[in-house]
Amino acid sequence: MQKHDILVIGGGPAGITLAKNIKNKRDVGIIRPEDHSMIYCAMPYVIEDLLPYEKTLKSDSIVTETGAELIRDRAVDIDFENKIVKTEKNNEYGYNELIIATGADPILPPIPGSELDNVMTFKTENDLEKILDIVDNDIKNASVVGAGAIGIELAQALNEKGINTNLIDMMPSVLPNLLDEDMSKKAGEELNELGLDLYLDSKVEKLEGNSKVKSIILEGNEKVESDFVVFAIGMSPNVDFISDSNLNIGKDGIIVNDKMETNIEDVYAVGDCVQYECAITGNVTSGKLATNAVAMGRVLATNLLGGNRSYEGFYNGAATKVGKYYVGGTGLSERLASDKFDIITAESEFTTAFPIMPFAKDVKMKLIINKNNRKVLGGQVISGEPVTDKVDKITMAVQYGIKVDRLLDFNYSSQPYQSFYPAHNLLVKAAEKAVKKLD
């Protein structure tokens, strides 16, 4: 039986981060069932022919150049007592320390008709290949259920291919977990402008068809013609193969402490298969983002090499693109923050360059502030240019407990191509408005 000092189950962002950071300092084996590790967030751009398929495939050398052994197999059982992982190919691998980084799988809801052909989820290389095949077979009407970032990106890609595309969500606005309704309004309008049909505040009751799906029946018996349906409504931790073990597993994944340790000695878990807390509220919350998985992997890698780092929790900074708009959010939305804190909000609106520049585009920021201690709880941005830099600044303010008053002293740069006039800054202006409300 082959044995590794550290055995990792899973070759996604968390597993790759562990291999890179441990790099030859300890003996590492990584069990990965997929043919390739993929850049999952780039898959919609393959569908709309913006990227070639091959560009989404990560080279195995990302792992092997670290000195880790890449094992192409699927873990099907773990004997925690004897420290053995059993695989689909009837192999057994021993370990001194085990890291579970199996990720999460998209949810296909158990509603009538979900078993029909051309009904699927979207996450893996196989999913991408299946969608590419379906698109090439002259599908006329497609529906994406779930108006989060993945759903919106996929819906835009299908629409770009000339397919009549519907976007359906139970919430009253698009991107409900990223943006408040007031900040997502332009994004929703843009999707309509692009030609997508939006069904918001709409619950899917069932799917109809013979062998293949033909339509979606919404609550209230409204029918939406669809010969292809993709669900993008959330993720479930990939832990079924160990659900009968002594490992503590919660509703949203494996339970770990801030060192990524499980309740079983020498067993750790990182990434989307983990259940963890919001760093702001301390409440269990979903944080199934590659950026969170990478951060957890870094913490654990440091500790496995003798360090003593702790993982704070999820801030969930994220961004996407909706037509001509770039949008992003971080921390708590106004809706979520108001459930726990007494809050105020403040907004600022400028342009992405000096207004006299012919290419200047509008940009709007919203901050959410805790009224009692004046700390930033979250924020959102919508712009005609990329927003990740602005989202990350807000995340830093939230993460380090910065009071909104301190943002008034924030030193910023200015240049005609890249910012508004020197007299104003988007973050500082929002902070000024917040302080006026607080005072």
Q: Are 29 and 6 in contact (CB under 8 A)?
A: yes
Query: Do 324-438 and 108-231 have the same topology in CATH?
Result: no
Q: Which amino acid is at 135?
A: V
Q: Which amino acid is at 21?
A: N
Q: CA-CA distance, 392 to 137, in Å (whole number)?
A: 41
CATH number attached to the domain at 2-36+58-105+236-304: 3.50.50.60
CATH number attached to the domain at 324-438: 3.30.390.30
Q: CA-CA distance, 301 to 101, in Å (whole number)?
A: 13
Q: Are 9 and 102 in contact (CB under 8 A)?
A: yes
Q: CA-CA distance, 127 to 120, in Å (whole number)?
A: 8
pLDDT of residue 138: 81
Cα dist from 336 to 105, 138, 359, whole Å: 25, 42, 36
Q: Which amino acid is at 421?
A: Y
CATH architecture designation of domain 108-231: 3-Layer(bba) Sandwich (3.50)
For the chain, give every domain's residue range.
2-36+58-105+236-304, 108-231, 324-438
DSSP string, 100-124: E---EEE-----TTTTSBTEEE--S
Q: What predicted TM-score, i.e. pTM, was given to this entire model?
A: 0.95
pLDDT (tens, 9 = 90+) of the chain, 439 residues, equals 899 999 999 999 999 999 999 999 999 999 999 988 888 899 999 999 999 999 999 999 999 999 999 999 999 999 999 999 999 999 999 999 999 999 999 999 999 999 999 999 999 999 999 999 999 888 999 999 999 999 999 999 999 999 999 999 999 999 999 999 999 999 999 999 999 999 999 999 999 999 999 999 999 999 999 999 999 999 999 999 999 999 999 999 999 999 999 999 999 999 999 999 999 999 999 999 999 999 999 999 999 999 999 999 999 999 999 999 999 999 999 999 999 999 999 999 999 999 999 999 999 999 999 999 999 999 999 999 999 999 999 999 999 999 999 999 999 999 999 999 999 999 999 999 999 999 9
Helix axes 13-22, 290-304, angle to 10 degrees: 30
Closest by CA to 364, choosing from 338, 335, 328, 398, is 328
